[in-house]
Homo-oligomer: A and B are copies of this chain.
Amino acid sequence: MTSSRPDGQRSPTLEEVAEWAGVSRSTVSRVINGVSTVDPELRELVQRAIDVTGYVPNLAARSLVTRRTDSVALVVSEPDDRTEQTEPFLNRIFTDPFLGRITAGALEVLRPEGIHLVIMPAESPAHHHVLRYLRQGHVDGVLLISSSDEDPLPQQLCDLGIPAVLSARPGKPLPMSYVDVEQQVGAKLAAEHLLAIGRHHLATISGPLDMPSSQDRLAGFRAALAVHGHAYVPSAAGNFTRASGEQAARDLFAAHPEIDGLFVANDLMAEGALQALRDLGRRVPEEVAVVGFDNSIAALQCRPQLTTIHQPLEEMAAEMARLLLARIGKADPKPRSVIFHPRLVKRESA
């Protein structure tokens, strides 16, 4: 806020610009908002006045009347019951390439529209904090990354009528647009690839089981294997961090040393699994083949480089932004879902 600028003077108002230019407040307002019915000569005069005075519209005043703020929030939400984890929430989300890709994709759409993106982590203790922020009208809408089907936030936003778009199929049916990838298809791709390269003892490391996407990947993997006669597939759940993948792999191989093919529900956990396998002296891919999920930068950084299921996160986030803008534009709340296709990216690990 420029109210505390060093010289003590507040930033100029529309009125002052108008006075400088010798026109009315309305005219200046028109110039600023690009209304076409302004004499070109006057327009230029006003523009000069704006430049000279260093005028910047006061957002509060504007949005008081327009009821728009031209910014949307990217909320990364986490429910109460998963707070007892080894790695703090903020560490987790700011270490996973996921968020960066989502942000990049969303900005791709929002920036040209002149809409700002504010990123808000909402782990349990801050949940109500963030809700209050959203209710106060700081933003026009929210892109919601929710990590559990128990998360109340989608429902709350729905009830409050705050425009929102979800990053995945909601846990419970909700009249809300969302974007997703065909999780089951992705898992099937992984399963069939592992079978195709001759692996018979398959297992999987899943994400947290309260997440629809984790459930889908697990179910998809099992279903695809069932088709090929594999009735039982050992699995262990992680929480999408590297460390949890490492631990899950250790557990899995301790119980089932015969495993020769592993599907891991994201690249970060796969990287951890690779670490565990190295420690266990299992060669990848010769003895154990590993397939990840995401095709994030992490897949390229580990050794061997990860064969993985690509999901187009940037495009998905861009689509989320588009859906949100459409929703903000008109209050017509016909929820839409946009589903993307995964694909296998073959590298060294399988």
From residue A304, how far is it (CB to closest CB) to chain B in Å?
11
Q: List A57-105 residues whose CB lies under 8 Å from chain B.
A: 57-61, 63-64, 67-69, 71, 87-88, 90-97, 99-101, 103-104
Which chain A residues in 218-261 approach chain B with CB under 8 Å? 242-243
What residues of chain B lie closer than 8 Å to A11, measured between beta carbons? 135
Say whether A107 faces chain B, with CB atoms less than 8 Å apart: yes
Name the B residues within 8 Å of A3 (CB-CB): 67, 137
CB contact under 8 A between A7 and B161, given known A90-B100, A301-B243: yes
Within A40-68, the residues touching B (CB, 8 Å) are 56-61, 63-64, 67-68
Instruction: With A8-B331, A111-B126, A301-B242 as known contacts, state yes or no: A1 contacts B140, CB within 8 Å.
Output: yes
**With A58-B137, A118-B119 as contacts: A90 and B63 at CB distance below 8 Å:** no
Output the nearest chain B residue to A301 by Cβ-Cβ distance. B242
CB-CB nearest in chain B for A74 = B119
Is A285 interfacial (CB-CB < 8 Å)?
Answer: no
Give the shortest distance, in Å, between A52 (CB) and chain B (any CB): 16
Q: Are the CB atoms of A136 and B58 closer together than 8 Å?
A: yes
A-B contact pairs, 30 of them (CB 8 A): A1-B68, A1-B69, A1-B162, A2-B162, A3-B67, A3-B137, A5-B160, A6-B161, A7-B161, A11-B135, A57-B136, A59-B136, A59-B137, A60-B63, A60-B69, A90-B101, A90-B103, A91-B104, A94-B96, A94-B99, A94-B103, A111-B125, A111-B129, A116-B120, A116-B138, A118-B120, A119-B120, A243-B301, A275-B303, A279-B303
Contacts of A23 in B (CB 8 A): none
Across the interface, which residues of B come within 8 angstroms of A297, CB to CB?
Answer: 87, 91, 95
Given the complex, which residues of B lie within 8 Å of A95, measured CB to CB? 95-97, 100, 297
Interface string of A113-144 (1 = CB under 8 A from B): 00011111100011001001101111110000
A100 to B111: give the CA distance in the assembly, Å.
24
Interface residues on A, range: 35 or more
Q: Which of A100, A140, A333 has the most CB of B within 10 A?
A: A100
- Chain B residues with Cβ below 8 Å from A120 are 116-119
Q: Does A154 contact B (CB under 8 A)?
A: no
Q: 7 extra interchain contacts, Cβ-Cβ under 8 A, other than A4-B163, A95-B100?
A: A2-B137, A6-B161, A56-B135, A59-B137, A71-B138, A242-B301, A279-B303
Does A328 lie at the interface of the complex (its beta carbon under 8 Å from any beta carbon of B)?
yes
- Given A58-B137, A99-B94, A104 and B118 contact (CB-CB distance below 8 Å): no
Instruction: Name A100's contact: one of B56, B60, B94, B139 (CB within 8 Å).
Output: B94
> A64-B58, A160-B2 known; A94 and B91 CB under 8 Å?
no
Evaluate contact between B58 and A1: CB separation under 8 angstroms. no
